[in-house]
């Protein structure tokens, strides 16, 4: 059975992207030969400015709760506009090193968020996230992770087992094209129940969307298409 194609990594002017949600949707439909079923908007959230240091959960919630609600509602409005043409998921990208002290606060601010892409995570962070994965109200994934570089003292086999057991998905990201340079990692994946997602990390150029073809072709060529994962819609999302 052919898996639906989603691109879960796109940024808008809410954070550091140049294009609005509608423009990103139009770029995906313009691919034509690649039947994209949906996209995810994954802007950066919970980025604490150094000039507004957060020292306790109350400060964190005060700083980010309104911003997060506004972001989620903006994406949900786009989901309603594009219904029947393209499914839009509410995601976000979270910097682990900046936010590892605020995980409890973040979990309480995720109403309506379907998935999180964590970036800049080390092995200690990944094991912590895996141990706490059932406490999160949405799907968890790793953004543009170069396994051999980010976990240099841990075997790839242990990394994939940890992720698979915790149901943390791995993003096949355009940053690493050509993906053949990561063949050693992808050779391991057929042996494990690891979940995969495609992500172009779209920022200031819609040409990034075109690389979705390359990502999908590589996954299919490696026999990994059935591992492609679509995060479920968060039950807390407003209708």
Q: Mapped to the 3 state alphabet, what secondary structure does the chain carry?
A: CCCCEEECCECCCCCCCCCCHHHHHHHHHCCCCCCEEEEEEEEECCCCCHHHCCCCHHHHHHHHHHHHHHHHHHHHHHHHHCCCCCEEEEEEEEEHHHHHHHHHHHHCCCCCCCEEEEECCCHHHHHHHHHCHHHCCCEEEECCCCHHHHCCCCCHHHHHHHHHHHCCEEEEEHHHCCHHHHHHHHHHHHHCCCCEEEECCECCCHHHHHHHHHHHHHHHHCCCHHHECCCCCCCCCCC
pLDDT greater than 60 at residue 237: no
5-227: in CATH 3.40.50.300: no
* pTM flag (> 0.75): yes
Predicted confidence (pLDDT) at residue 1 exceeds the cutoff of 70: no
pLDDT band at 236 (very low <50, low <70, confident <90, very high): low
pLDDT score, position 151: 97
Indicate the domain borders of the chain.
5-227
| pLDDT digit string, tens, across residues 51-81 | 677 889 999 999 999 999 999 999 999 999 9
């Amino acid at each position: 059975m052919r898996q639906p194609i989603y691109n879960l990594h796109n940024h808008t002017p809410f954070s550091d992207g140049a294009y609005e949600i509608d423009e990103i949707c139009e770029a995906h439909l313009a691919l034509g030969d690649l039947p994209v079923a949906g996209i995810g908007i994954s802007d950066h959230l919970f980025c604490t400015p150094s000039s507004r240091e957060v020292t306790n959960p109350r400060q964190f919630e005060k700083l980010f709760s309104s911003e997060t609600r506004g972001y989620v509602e903006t994406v949900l409005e786009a989901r309603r506009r594009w219904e029947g043409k393209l499914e839009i998921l509410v995601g976000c990208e979270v910097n682990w090193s900046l936010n590892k002290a605020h995980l409890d606060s973040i979990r309480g601010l995720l109403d309506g968020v379907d998935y999180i892409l964590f970036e800049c995570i080390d092995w200690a962070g990944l094991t912590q996230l895996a141990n706490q994965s059932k406490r999160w109200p949405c799907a968890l994934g790793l953004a543009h992770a170069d396994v051999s570089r980010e976990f240099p003292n841990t075997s790839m086999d242990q990394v994939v087992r940890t992720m698979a057991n915790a149901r943390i998905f791995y993003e096949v990201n355009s940053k690493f094209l050509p993906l053949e340079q990561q063949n050693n990692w992808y050779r391991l994946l057929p042996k494990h129940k690891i979940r995969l997602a495609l992500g172009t990390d779209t920022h200031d150029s819609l040409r990034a969307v075109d690389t979705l073809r390359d990502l999908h072709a590589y996954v299919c060529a490696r026999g990994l298409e059935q591992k492609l994962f679509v995060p479920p819609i968060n039950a807390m999302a407003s209708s």
